[in-house]
Amino acid sequence: MMEREGRMRIRRHEFFEDFVAAATRILVELGISQAESALAASAMADHIASHWGGQNLNVPMDWRRALTQLELEIYNKFTGDNYDELARHYGISERTARRYIDRIRKRLAAAARRNQRDLFNNEHDDT
């Protein structure tokens, strides 16, 4: 039993370490300073620990984050050369606007490739 508790302690530590690192990285990408990002990420981890501590949660491995409304809205207003306008309008950096648009383009391209493979890998040949 003691060995299991030791493993769980290590896993919890790994989870929070990964969470803080990911949250810090994302906040820095959004234009927040490294120091402020690290503080905010630690506060988020503390919140999760205090509000969700003791719960048994299962996070499915196949879960994929859906495109956010903001990303879709920005993508739909993108004209090909208005990164700066979008950034000003949404209060984000131009780099973040580019990243959102690139992320959506990649997801759309991946979906198109999947659909294309489905079209050509059809098991039923009607000829």
Asked whether residue 94 is assigned to any structural domain, the reply reads: yes
Q: Which domain holds residue 9?
A: 1-52
Pair 113, 87 in one domain: yes
Report the pLDDT averaged over residues 3-23. 90
Same domain, 1 and 44: yes
Q: Is residue 63 part of a domain?
A: no
As a whole number, the mean pLDDT across the chain is 84
Angle at alpha carbon of residue 125, lines to 121 and 127, rounded to 5°:
135
Domain boundary among 52, 80, 95: 52
Q: Does residue 112 lie within any of the structural domains?
A: yes
Say how far apart CA 1 and CA 13 lie, in whole Å. Answer: 19
**Are 87 and 47 within one domain?**
no
Number of domains making up the chain: 2
64 assigned to some structural domain: no
Same domain, 4 and 44: yes
Q: Would you say residue 126 lies in a domain?
A: no
- In the prediction, which pLDDT does 39 show? 97
- Comparing 31-40, 51-60, 109-118, which segment has the lowest mean pLDDT? 109-118
Radius of gyration of the chain (CA): 21
> Does residue 53 register a pLDDT over 50?
yes
Q: Cα(92)–Cα(83) distance, rounded to whole angstroms?
A: 10
Q: How many CB atoms lie within 10 A of CB 24?
A: 21
pTM of model > 0.75 = no
Alpha helices by DSSP H, the chain = 2-29, 34-52, 69-77, 83-90, 94-120
- Residues of the chain with pLDDT > 90, as a percent, come to 52
